[in-house]
Amino acid sequence: MRCSSSFAALAAALWLSACVEERVNPNPQPDVRTDTGTDTGVAEDGSVTDTGGVEDSGVPPRDAGDAGPSCVPNNDGVIDRGEMPYSLGAQVLYLVNDDNTTVDGINTAPTDTPSGPQWDFSAMRMSDRRVLDEVQSPMGRWWQPLYPTATFALPLDRAASTFALYRSDASSLAILATVSRDMARTNILFNPPVDAIRFPLREGSTWTVTSAGNGFLNGVANSTVNTWRFTVDRRGTVLTPATRFPVLRLRMELDQTLTGTIIRRTQRTYLFLSECWGLVARVASVDNEMSMEFTRASEYRRLGL
C-alpha cells in the first residue's frame, strides 16, 4: 500500500462519488475535450500530450445504456447530497499511477483564467494505468453482521484484497472500517466514524475529525490516532482525460500517529468534486510535504476514458 490503512481507507471513500448511476447526465461546461485518436507525443516530464484533435462535443462520456438524466447539476457551486448519487454495482474508470510510485511535474496550484481558477490534469502520462472501481453491496459478506449500518464497500488494496466500508446518509459520507475479503484477516474499526464529506458542500466549508483506527491489518495488530482537517478551499474548473468539469476543491490534511510511539506522518490530498459526477480527480502529496501546493504526488488519479 502507498500509505497506512487508516489514511488509504479514508481517501478511498471519495471514490464513491464518481460511481454515478447509469442514468446521470452531468451537463458539464460546453467546451469538452474528447479523445479523437490523434497522434500523441511524450514530453520531457513524462506526460503524453495530445498534438491535436481536441473536440468541443458538448457531451460528457456516458454509458451506452444511458436512458436519461437522474441527476442534473444546477452549477450553483454547492454540492447537496442529491448531487452525489451512487448505485450498487456501478463502475467508473480512472487513470492512476501504480502503488508505491511517485509522479513528478504535476501542479496543484490553479491557473487564473477569465472564468476563474483552472487545473489542467488532462495530459496522458506514461505512468497511467486504467483502474475500474465498483460500488459493492454488503449483502452476504462476512463483515456485514459487524457493520450493519454499512451502505456499500469499495476496493482499497487489490493486492491485499482489502475493502473500505462506508455509511451514506442525508448529512454525510462516513468511513466505518477497513476489512479483508477473507474472514477477519484485516478488520480495522474507525472510532468515531470519519465524515469524509459533510453536506451541503460549498467553498469555505471546513471540519475536523479525530478518530482512532484499531484492529488487525493482515493478521497483525494495528492502532493509530488520526486527525483529518477538511477545507473546501477553491471553486473552479478541472480538465481531465475524460472531459472538463466545474469543481469544488476539497483539501484533506492528515496528521497520523502510531499509538504508543512517536512515529508520525502527515499528508495533504486535494479532491476535485463536481455536481452529479462527484470525484473527478484526486492528487495526494508524498509523506510530510511542507508546501501547500506541490508538484510531486504519491497518487495522481483522474477520470478517464
Whether 35 is covered by a domain: the verdict is no
Domain count, the chain: 1
Whether 254 is covered by a domain: the verdict is yes
Whether 58 is covered by a domain: the verdict is no
Tens digit of each residue's pLDDT (9 = 90 or more) over 114-127? 999 999 999 999 99
pLDDT the model gives residue 133 = 83
Q: What's the sign of the alpha-carbon dihedral 29, 202, 119, 110?
A: positive
pLDDT the model gives residue 50 = 39
pTM: 0.80
The stretches in the chain having pLDDT less than 50 are: 1-3, 12-13, 15-68
Tens digit of each residue's pLDDT (9 = 90 or more) over 231-271? 999 999 999 999 999 999 999 999 999 999 999 999 999 99
Whether 61 is covered by a domain: the verdict is no
| Cβ–Cβ < 8 Å for 237, 249 | no
Burial of 300 (0-12, 13-18, 19+ CB in 10 A): buried
The contacts of residue 64 (CB under 8 Å, 6+ apart) are none
Whether 63 is covered by a domain: the verdict is no
Whether 275 is covered by a domain: the verdict is yes
Whether 124 is covered by a domain: the verdict is yes
**Using alpha carbons only, what angle is made at residue 129 by residues 123 and 133, rounded to the nearest 5 degrees?**
110
pLDDT the model gives residue 159 = 67
Whether 60 is covered by a domain: the verdict is no
pLDDT the model gives residue 10 = 55
- To which residue does cell 463483515 refer? 143
286: nearest Cα among 104, 163, 16? 104
What is the span of the domain harbouring residue 132?
5-30+45-51+68-303
pLDDT the model gives residue 54 = 30
